[in-house]
Amino acid sequence: MGDRFKGKVAIVTGASRGIGLGVAERLVADGAQVVITARKPDALRDAAASLGEDRAAWAAGAGDDPEHQRAAVDLALERFGRIDFLVNNAGINPMYGRLIDLDLGAAGKIFAVNVVSAVSWAQLAYRAGMAGHGGAIVNVASIAGLRPAPNIGMYGASKSALIHITEELAVELGPQVRVNAVAPAVVKTRFATALYEGREAEVSAAYPLKRLGTPEDIAGAVTFLLSDDAAWITGQTLAIDGGILLGGGA
């Protein structure tokens, strides 16, 4: 275990598996204590156990539920005494298909979880201590928020909004709190299965680095942005994309 984040406490949303759990694992490995959230208690319990009972606590609930958000923040303060970092990783994409055919109720839910809840989590963490002692926030966006994304257009629009919110919060909360984002391409998680399942070699061939991302790839960038190594970085969105945005992989 390293000590880069010794004495620091993080909340990581959407962290029972995938990118969120990868971030939590890296934070704990670097000395932090974490509160992880997600919807399913059994998966969260197992994830927290894998992180270590003295290093991790968990709170189950919907990411856009205000009562769940407050409970998670309260848990962080009760168990670990402070909040230094927030990683807004929870996100949904219940629709796959053309934007023109999208169910508008689903569109509202996508924005509620992917955008509005990120602001709510930030408000709560800021008021719970970051305003006084400082801290850092990283929002997990997507390269779908940086360019058109056929069949996941509303998800991409929500991630564009999240990138803009990152910039707005960076202006508002400096110098006490830094706010940045990461924009992954396709990462090998259950969430992204529809984008590569059964054709991983074909999808990977379009990337200059010739592979898809892993949660560890994203975790390394997120923890860098949380760390003092990024002390003069705020309001930025880092594309973690294996080179796909360069368009030179084929």
Summarised one tens digit per residue, pLDDT across range 163-192 is 999 999 999 999 999 999 999 999 987 766
- Lowest model confidence (mean pLDDT) among 62-76, 100-114, 159-173, 180-194: 180-194
Q: Which residue has better confidence, 203 or 227?
A: 227
Greatest C-alpha distance within the chain: 52
Provide the pLDDT for residue 195: 65
| Average pLDDT of the residues of the chain | 94
What is the C-alpha separation between 77 and 39, in angstroms, rounded?
21
| Identity of the residue numbered 74 | D
What is the C-alpha separation between 197 and 200, in angstroms, rounded?
6
Is 207 among the residues known to form the active site?
no
Residue 201 has pLDDT above 80, yes or no: yes
| Averaged pLDDT, 94-102 | 91
Tokens representing 201?
Answer: 């070699």
Provide the pLDDT for residue 189: 79
What is the C-alpha separation between 174 and 191, in angstroms, rounded?
33
| Averaged pLDDT, 186-207 | 78
Q: Residue ranges per domain, the chain?
A: 9-246
Cβ atoms of 205 and 195 closer than 8 Å: no
Summarised one tens digit per residue, pLDDT across range 2-31 is 899 999 999 999 999 999 999 999 999 999
What is the C-alpha separation between 35 and 55, in angstroms, rounded?
9
CATH top-level class of 9-246: alpha beta
Catalytic choice (126, 155, 196, 207)? 155
What is the C-alpha separation between 102 and 151, in angstroms, rounded?
10
Provide the pLDDT for residue 190: 74
| Averaged pLDDT, 232-249 | 91
Residue 66 has pLDDT above 60, yes or no: yes
Provide the pLDDT for residue 200: 74
Residue 249 has pLDDT above 60, yes or no: no
Provide the pLDDT for residue 95: 86
Provide the pLDDT for residue 250: 44
Provide the pLDDT for residue 194: 62
| Averaged pLDDT, 59-84 | 98
Residue 82 has pLDDT above 80, yes or no: yes
Cβ atoms of 111 and 160 closer than 8 Å: no
Band of residue 103 on the pLDDT scale cut at 50, 70, 90: very high
